[in-house]
Chains A and B, each alone.
Chain A
Amino acid sequence: MSITSSPHWEEKGGANELLVQIENEDLKQMLESSKDSAKLDAMKRIVGMIAKGKNASELFPAVVKNVASKNIEIKKLVYVYLMRYAEEQQDLALLSISTFQRALKDPNQLIRASALRVLSSIRVPIIVPIMMLAIKEASSDLSPYVRKNAAHAIQKLYSLDPEQKEMLIEVIEKLLKDKSTLVAGSVVMAFEEVCPDRIDLIHKNYRKLCNLLVDVEEWGQVVIIHMLTRYARTQFVSPWKDDEVVEEYSENNFYESDEEQKEKDQKVKNTYTMDPDHRLLLRNTKPLLQSRNAAVVMAVAQLYWHLAPKSEAGIVSKSLVRLLHSNREVQYIVLQNIATMSIQRKGMFEPYLKSFYVRSTDPTMIKTLKLEILTNLANEANISTLLREFQTYVRSQDKQFAAATIQAIGRCATNITEVTDTCLNGLVCLLSNRDEIVVAESVVVIKKLLQTQPAHHGEIIKHMAKLLDNITVPVARASILWLIGEYCERVPKIAPDVLRKTAKTFTNEDDLVKLQILNLGAKLYLTNSKQTKLLTQYVLNLGKYDQSYDIRDRTRFIRQLIVPNEKSGALSKYAKKIFLAQKPAPLLESPFKDRDHFQLGTLSHTLNSRATGYLELSDWPKVAPDPSVRNVDVAELAKEWTGILGKTKKEKPTEKFYSESEEDEDESSSTSASGRCLESNLHLPCLKNSIFRTGHYLKRIRKKFKKSQSYVAAPVSVPTKTHELLHRMSGKGLAAHYHFSRQPGIFGDRMVSVQLTVTNTTDQKIENIHIKEKKLPPGMRMHEFNPIECLEPAGSITVSMGIDFCDSAQMASFQLCTKDDYFNVNIQPPVGELLLPVTMSEKDFKKEQGMLTGMNETSATIAVAPQNSTRLVIIEKVVKAANLGVVPSGQDNIHRFAAKTVHSGSLMLVTVELKESSTAQLIINTEKTVIGSVLLRELKPVLSQG
């Protein structure tokens, strides 16, 4: 039964254009209809088209209109559409931006997050600054989920505009300090993509990441583990020195064989001490071997392989073998990695030998990998069992696999001298096999084996010479010919006869075989020229006119070298030495031999070639870099932590969370028994009452830093009032207005953001509008807007700039310049704009207020206009006049507001207490008494006027 109504699957791509047009018209009409159901239907059909890969870009204008739809599903589908086509239709895509900007301020964290996701997924270069702003803002969002999305957005922006790198690194640095497990994986991913070389950013966060690791979601774990592997290789010294590892840092229960270790301990003292941080990483990753996610298990395995002392790396084998029970793709990758490991450290997988036995139902690629591992694991003790197993494989119906087995037998034979003869005999038996591939492979392997010990194998060579009549596989024929040539003195009777036979068939042979016939002829000519002189010359003549230039070349070369003539140089004297020199035996090696220079578990390792973006694992440093860089002192930790949130906060263990709730119910087990670290978390939408929780390392700090809990909130209202900066008359037609947008921290923590609207009232273009000659009081800073290149007649443009007023009401003077002119202007901030609203509970408010009395308190009694005495009106008026946050109040007649100053972050507490007979007491408590009194003066008329 079809669930969605009509994603038109039936029609094929070849449908004629007319039909498509009609369909598109149809869809457009549906999108413009007033009914959501029609719109939804249309969007579903469009998504169906996108899914099929059909072009739906023509519908862009119609679709983008619905971006602000109330219906969540329509909205989501429009997002899907936008992400797909925005890149192609950049101008139209801009229409949707304001919707996202609005959503970025939504009180619901999920809406903020999804707005950021979509905004950052729209690949339109013009909006880079907007994205940058949004990311910066989101990176200090209260919700870890939004911060996670900010981390994702970093990578998107980086790929859109790599020039933002420096700014993005700042955001990454900030997010790396984040304590939430939700954020950790994503920000490390961003780190790896944007600035993997900035290892210095990790130092301070190293221990935190190690500790959080268990609780990070599985995908994040993989990324973090890979990053930490790289990190550790640059920061710690090698634990592999002489395989003697001593632990001063006592962790004896970590070892599976305690006693052995202790013995070692006594023998060797202080040769090597593992850095506790190194140990921390190993200890904290170990439990992840138990993950259900194969990628996590593999990541830990490679970490142990690259970082752990050799005696400990063994613990990963069991888990890797477990993964072999999984699907074939996982098996394939895991087996490849085991193959590389098993070359270097056989012992790791020897106990699991039988797990690599091949089943006839395994896919060939799995079979060959298993075979590879079995061969690597072969030793004197298990070779007989293995050979018996190999016998089964040789008879497999899968001939490709049978051939691989023969190769494997050859390798075992060369590696383990005890069985060389047995193997050789076995292989000779295979020469009478009915399958040609098997025979050919055997020939090739026997050839290699004979070469390693040519002493007494005349019989085998004779046997093989007989085979030449039947075998057609070129490699095998070539091998036999080479053998006969090489050892022609051992088979003096047969060799010339073979040459005779092959000379007859020369023209029909494969190039490979032809070359060997030529070689054979040359060798015989040198050893037995009496019998073979004519034959060789005949062969050389054939070769001279061969189609392949390779063979013609070889012929020419051989003729010059062996046939004496007047031109032949000094070399021909040595012809025999050249041709019949003792040749080194080929090494039968594993194809996985040289893969270990790639980090295990990586794509590059799988492909055995460097993949784009592969990060080299550095060698251990000879001397460990300063380990103290990872020290995080407690005070700093607290500061950083609070820095994220903008304010100090306090623990309130009133709400239970996972670990602690367990503590409550199950007294016997400690907090850590849960294995899950605590996570800073936030409950929305009850923003105001929510309480921050931090990780358990903060527990120690808690007591020291019991400050009241409050944090920056979104502005309650944004004033619409604009101030004039430059009148059009004095600006020769250029007018400028500014207003305070009350957006926190766009250009940095201490900046007040100002929106500047410049209008061109002339009838000519105004070019290059920019700021120059700032005359700022000491300490004040200004973040200029990017120069406006050109302003059309009657056009106007709005730009943002940031000014750090240093918490003073002094003017910021500067010149507003155009291409030809300049105008002196200045901005004087109302005191109310030097604040950022803060939310806190009434209790905290009172507590803070209690600490800010005496000098720090200013108050006045004012008359209140009767229409201003209701709660709503008071709040509205006050927050309009000053950027204050509303504090919930238990009493009807008392209204409280809180904020902090933008520059120094000092609290500013405002209380309005209504009294009888239309008066009110206005109290302001703050350390910044000057601003306090100015604010008092400014608030007075607000309430008393109507």
Chain B
Amino acid sequence: MIHSLFLINCSGDIFLEKHWKSVVSQSVCDYFFEAQEKAIDVENVPPVISTPHHYLISIYRDKIFFVSVIQTEVPPLFVIEFLHRVADTFQDYFGECSETAIKDNVVIVYELLEEMLDNGFPLATESNILKELIKPPTILRSVVNSITGSSNVGDTLPTGQLSNIPWRRAGVKYTNNEAYFDVIEEIDAIIDKSGSTVFAEIQGVIDSCIKLSGMPDLSLSFMNPRLLDDVSFHPCIRFKRWESERVLSFIPPDGNFRLISYRVSSQNLVAIPVYVKHMISFKENSSSGRFDVTIGPKQNMGKTVEGVVMTVHMPKAVLNMNLTATQGSYTFDPVIKVLTWDVGKITPQKLPNLKGIVNLQSGAPKPEENPSLNIQFKIQQLAISGLKVNRLDMYGEKYKPFKGVKYITKAGKFQVRT
């Protein structure tokens, strides 16, 4: 399926190549570069490119293009999903999926790629299995390795791959047994000019960090499971149990993983926690405009809205901006025309405001459209959908684990049209 993989950085250097079948020349990437040139920006490089002899399927992650070479028909999502899994694995191993990290760990990267694909077909993609086969680097181990010449290849053979619980290895031991669940909800919304909601929905995930000894069998139940309209599961979850009882029953992988992701049914009205008052105008036949934005809290259930950041992609004609912020600080990048206002926490007593003059290129026509405002924010200790974890039970092990649940609401793709 996947013939070869090339990793390409932003300046167009191929800094890693790996072939699973016979070798494909680097020159195949020229077709990719061609497509990249045609696209306005990296985001617009088409993920699937057809060349005379091959097909190129690529993803863009963390300033790296993962370009895979395909020779025959294959579901494109299969490849895309796999490439993202590769990037996730790098992230997991090296803490970041950057060019430097990959170059520094090229041998581990190669070993990983070797294990993840056999003849272009995925072999082991579970992080648990991989970590048993190839140990992730740590500073201590790298020092020890360089002195003693020992290896980062696991000397014990992984059991997970062979068992019917491939996501968990045997013989896990912890002194402190802990299970943490983060319920993270993101609000995707489009707010129109007048402040009414055009579209809003809640996308949530439950990320878990499970450090439990042995083979614990967990079941997690919710106070209001009916809220979850559409759910996707980690393979460890017993689907039938969810269907019949709406309980998440599973033997967890060891460590960090995403348990479920869900969408809250769109019938439920989504509470929008902030409002924005805006006045952006460009005068006809003059080289300036006015900019005035205020952000305020709304329906926040008694919790503070924090980590508020506003980014605005200003029209091309904007030269510079002279603004004053009552709170936080703002920057305007005149090259990419992006205004960023880091607001911080919103206190209802004194609403943050950003106001001032926009300088336009003289002679350029007045921008047609006002830019839309992209807002980010965070609310701790609140799941905006109202989802609540009821209880977590553990079977199969004797000890008493420490359990914790955290709720966070964040802005997803939250856009205010002006």
- Residues of A participating in the B interface, judged by any CB pair closer than 8 Å: 1-5, 7, 9, 35-38, 40-41, 44, 47-48, 50-53, 71-74, 76-77, 79-80, 84, 87, 108-110, 117, 120-121, 123, 143-145, 149, 152-153, 155-156, 159, 181-182, 186, 189, 214-215, 217-219, 222, 226, 287, 290-295, 297-299, 318-319, 321-322, 325, 327-330, 332-334, 352, 354-355, 357, 359-361, 363-365, 389, 392, 395-397, 433-435, 601-604, 606-607, 609, 611-615, 657-658, 661-662, 665-666, 669, 672-676, 678-679, 681-682, 684
Residues of A within 8 A of B16 (CB): 51-52
CB distance from A243 to the nearest CB of B (A): 26
A607 touches B369 (CB 8 A): no
B114 touches A361 (CB 8 A): no
A333 touches B76 (CB 8 A): yes
Tell me the bound Cα distance from A159 to B82 in angstroms. 23
Interface size grouping (class) on chain B: 35 or more
CB distance from B77 to the nearest CB of A (A): 4
Tell me the bound Cα distance from A396 to B369 in angstroms. 6
5 contacts between A and B (CB under 8 A): A7-B103, A325-B203, A360-B313, A361-B413, A603-B55
Per-residue CB contact flags for chain B residues 161-197 toward chain A (1 = under 8 Å, else 0) read: 1111110000000000000000000001010100000
Among A149, A319, A363, A657, the residue within 8 A (CB) of B118 is A149
By beta carbon, the residue of chain B nearest A356 is B199
Tell me the bound Cα distance from A53 to B153 in angstroms. 23
Interface: B223 (CB within 8 A): no
Residues of A within 8 A of B70 (CB): 603
A674 touches B238 (CB 8 A): yes
B17 touches A53 (CB 8 A): yes
Interface: B107 (CB within 8 A): yes
Within 90-134 of B, Cβ neighbours of A (below 8 Å) are at 103-111, 114, 118-119, 121-123, 125
Among B106, B153, B165, the residue within 8 A (CB) of A76 is B153
Residues of A within 8 A of B84 (CB): 327, 329
Residues of B within 8 A of A672 (CB): 240
Per-residue CB contact flags for chain B residues 47-86 toward chain A (1 = under 8 Å, else 0) read: 1101000010011100000000011111111101110100
A73 touches B73 (CB 8 A): no
Beyond known contacts A1-B142, A352-B266: 10 more, CB 8 A cutoff: A159-B21, A217-B122, A292-B235, A319-B232, A328-B47, A361-B374, A435-B368, A603-B73, A658-B251, A675-B239
B251 touches A397 (CB 8 A): no
B107 touches A7 (CB 8 A): yes
CB distance from B113 to the nearest CB of A (A): 9
Residues of A within 8 A of B41 (CB): 363
A47 touches B107 (CB 8 A): yes
Per-residue CB contact flags for chain B residues 1-31 toward chain A (1 = under 8 Å, else 0) read: 1000000000000111111011100100000
B316 touches A397 (CB 8 A): yes
A328 touches B43 (CB 8 A): yes
Interface: B345 (CB within 8 A): no
Residues of A within 8 A of B108 (CB): 3-4
- Knowing A71-B151, A397-B313 are in contact, say whether A294-B80 is a contact too (CB < 8 A): yes
A37 touches B149 (CB 8 A): yes
Among B75, B105, B146, B371, the residue within 8 A (CB) of A602 is B75
A48 touches B106 (CB 8 A): yes
Interface: B139 (CB within 8 A): yes
A52 touches B139 (CB 8 A): no
Residues of A within 8 A of B231 (CB): 290
B22 touches A87 (CB 8 A): yes
A318 touches B230 (CB 8 A): yes
By beta carbon, the residue of chain B nearest A666 is B395
Residues of A within 8 A of B71 (CB): 612-613
Tell me the bound Cα distance from A77 to B110 in angstroms. 9
Interface: B258 (CB within 8 A): yes
By beta carbon, the residue of chain B nearest A109 is B162
Residues of B within 8 A of A666 (CB): 395
A602 touches B234 (CB 8 A): no
Tell me the bound Cα distance from A310 to B276 in angstroms. 44
Of B17, B44, B235, which is in contact with the most chain A CB atoms at under 10 Å from its CB?
A: B235
B105 touches A4 (CB 8 A): yes
CB distance from B207 to the nearest CB of A (A): 12
Smallest CB-CB A-B distances: 5 pairs: A37-B149, A613-B72, A73-B151, A363-B43, A395-B369
Tell me the bound Cα distance from A108 to B122 in angstroms. 22
